[in-house]
Amino acid sequence: MHANVKQNVIPLITPGLKVACSQCNLRELCLPFGLSEVDMGRLDKLIGGGRKLKRGHFLYRAGDPFESIFAVRSGFFKTDVLTEDGRDQVTGFQMAGEILGMDGISTETHTCNAVALEDSEVCLIPFTELEMLSSEIHSLQHHLHKVMSREIVRDHGVMMLLGTMRAEERLAAFLLNLSQRFSARGYSPAEFHLRMTREEIGSYLGLKLETVSRAFSRFQDEGLISVQQKHIRIVDIPRLKTLLTPPDGRIG
């Protein structure tokens, strides 16, 4: 019943997978943002190659020693934290251009699991080398700080969601967030495939899977979206957005 049913071996670096930031169409979303051609070449040399992961495989697990951060080249990941007493919280879903693994810097050990939700590719960025290079390239250093800060801000958004929103508001916010991120990557903002189960959505949103399912059905009944298993089509984005704004505005 738990996610760790598929305890696959962590695959080694895929030798054939050549990566180069300068050739990558994600460079405007990813770590090399704002670098000159020359500096991007220096970053290329540092990137420890790519790694392919089959669906269900772990990129890293809580407890693994921290050595690298990862940039998602393609595919889809989830990160989750498990406690000894069996609580399980999905802390995020990551797609192309997003950075994984920064939780590990503080203790030199990963504190969460990262699992591929579909066949995926990542770039491996050795962190010590990245720090060395970033002390020479100011814009790289600054952008790394921005990426970490962005993660903090994103986390605050999740706290807001978990702390103040009701079930349907959470799901609306979740769908709109996915929509916006797909859109930023050139995909349809209105129609997409969910890579995660209702249970994983529920864990992320602090809800049980039944509540997630009911909220989907309700949205469909009201003509906001069309759901067929994992295929989602958002019929009325503006009206979905209004679900996030309580009618009275709650001002005062």
Binding site for its own copies (CB under 8 A): 1-2, 81, 83-89, 91, 102-107, 111-112, 131-132, 134-136, 138, 141-142, 144-153, 155-160, 162-165, 203-206, 244-246, 249-252
Is 174 a binder of DNA (CB under 7 A)? no
CA distance 88 to 120: 23
Q: Which of 5, 9, 38, 152 binds DNA (CB under 7 A)?
A: 5
Residue 28 binding: pick among its own copies, DNA, none (C-beta 5-8 Å cut-off by kind): none
Is 206 a binder of DNA (CB under 7 A)? yes
130 contact partners, CB below 8 Å, separation of at least 6: 46, 69, 144
CA distance 137 to 133: 6
CB 16 to DNA: min, Å? 25
Is 208 a binder of DNA (CB under 7 A)? yes
CB 150 to its own copies: min, Å? 4
Q: Walk across the sheet containing 113-116 and list its strands.
A: 58-60, 113-116, 76-82, 88-95
CB 125 to its own copies: min, Å? 13
CB 216 to DNA: min, Å? 5
Query: C-alpha angle with apex 103: 90 to 122, nearest 5 degrees?
Result: 80
Q: Which of 17, 20, 209, 244 binds DNA (CB under 7 A)?
A: 209
Q: Walk across the sheet containing 50-53 and list its strands.
A: 50-53, 120-126, 68-74, 99-100
Residue 122 Cα distances to 33, 103, 146, 165, angstroms? 17, 17, 20, 33
Residue 37 binding: pick among its own copies, DNA, none (C-beta 5-8 Å cut-off by kind): none
Residue 224: name the closest of 247, 190, 192, 249 by CA: 190
Q: State which residue, 154 or 214, has the beta carbon closest to DNA.
A: 214
CA distance 181 to 19: 23
Q: Which two tokens stand for residue 197?
A: 């189960």
Half-sphere exposure of residue 199, counting CA atoms within 13 Å on the CB side? 5
Residue 211 binding: pick among DNA, its own copies, none (C-beta 5-8 Å cut-off by kind): DNA
Q: Which stretch binds DNA (CB under 7 A): 77-85, 96-104, 179-187, 224-232?
A: 224-232
Q: Which of 81, 176, 184, 227 binds DNA (CB under 7 A)?
A: 227
Which residues sit at the interface with DNA, rule CB under 7 A?
A: 5, 166-168, 194, 197-199, 206-214, 216-217, 227-230
